[in-house]
Amino acid sequence: MGGKFAAYTATLPIQPLTRLAVDLTMLLVADIVPLLFFITAATFASAESRIWLAMLVAILLAAQLWVLCHLRASPISRWPSADRVRSALPPWLSVQLQALSERRGVSLLRVGIAFAIGVAADRLIVAFAFDARSVPTSIIAADLICLVLSGFYRGLLDAHRGAGRFLAALPLPPNYWTVRDVAFVATSAAPPLAIGWFRLSSLGLLSPQMLLLLVLACAGLIALLRMPLTRGGRLGSLAAAVIAALWAGAAIAAASR
């Protein structure tokens, strides 16, 4: 958008085509990674597919240019800040997001690992040609995703302890944060869990009843993992790993019947 420098350049006699060429050049540099994928795909595609790929790239660049021009023409005050967005959320969700943002690197790493596990499990299922190993693979992946994302409990617990005196003065039920923390972790686990389950469900390898049982079982596992991770001390991670391993074995045994 140019920042403060954009106000200065607006007063210069720069032609619109020149400004457009500069914007397009910067977008091409910023989009170098996806453009390499398009170029690689074009080398192995037919002539008709190359035309469609070129049209898709042109449409994406035009959309980026439109957004850039719209942002530059709009006053900064019209765009909501992070504080405004946070104030629009429910208070309990704002507290949870703020707690995890204090450990942004670790939180993003957990989410990235969870999605990587989901994608890897999906690729394994495709490599297995959707045979009898597909459902156990998805169960093991779901178990690992729940175990990885349950690490959010410790960051949330530290935030609740820091504001313990203030929260104790509020008329909140005893299990107020327990229920909301479990719901938050379960919601964050839903997207990576859905990666493999969607394919299995669409192919008929998971019946609606089995899918519902898996969803409920994962929610129960996430709720169960909160106990060792928040009260287990130094052995909490080991206890959580043992619980997750037992859960995976029981789930695979139940699904194989």
Answer for the pair 132, 204: CB distance below 8 angstroms, yes or no: no
| 106-138 CB burial, b ≥16 within 10 A, e <16 | ebeebbebbeebbeebbebbeeeeeeeebbbbb
Count of CB atoms within 10 A of residue 81's CB? 10
- Using CB atoms within 10 Å of the CB of residue 244, give its burial: 0 to 12 exposed, 13 to 18 middle, 19+ buried: buried
Answer for the pair 193, 118: CB distance below 8 angstroms, yes or no: yes
Looking at residue 77, its pLDDT comes to: 44
- How confident is the prediction along the chain (257 residues), in pLDDT tens digits per residue? 666 676 777 788 888 788 888 888 888 888 887 788 788 878 877 887 888 888 888 888 888 888 777 766 655 444 555 566 556 677 777 778 888 887 888 888 999 999 999 889 888 888 888 888 888 999 999 999 999 999 999 888 877 776 666 666 777 777 888 888 999 999 999 999 988 788 888 888 888 888 899 999 999 999 999 999 888 878 888 999 999 999 999 998 888 77
pTM beyond 0.85: no
DSSP 106-156: HHHHHHHHHHHHHHHHHHHHHHTTT-TTHHHHHHHHHHHHHHHHTTHHHHH
CA distances from 224 to 5, 151, 181, 219, 251 (A): 54, 13, 12, 9, 15
CA distance 16 to 257: 68
Looking at residue 2, its pLDDT comes to: 63
Contacts of 186 (CB under 8 A, 6+ apart): 218, 219, 222, 223
Looking at residue 182, its pLDDT comes to: 93
Looking at residue 61, its pLDDT comes to: 85
Q: Domains of the chain: which residue ranges?
A: 4-78, 85-255
Answer for the pair 133, 158: CB distance below 8 angstroms, yes or no: no
Angle at alpha carbon of residue 43, lines to 40 and 46, rounded to 5°: 130
Looking at residue 188, its pLDDT comes to: 92
CA distance 125 to 97: 33
Query: Which of 120, 184, 115 lies closest to 150, judged by CA?
Result: 184
Count of CB atoms within 10 A of residue 226's CB? 20
CA distance 229 to 220: 15
Contacts of 96 (CB under 8 A, 6+ apart): 156, 159, 180, 181, 184
CA distance 134 to 122: 9
Structure token pair of residue 61: 């660049």
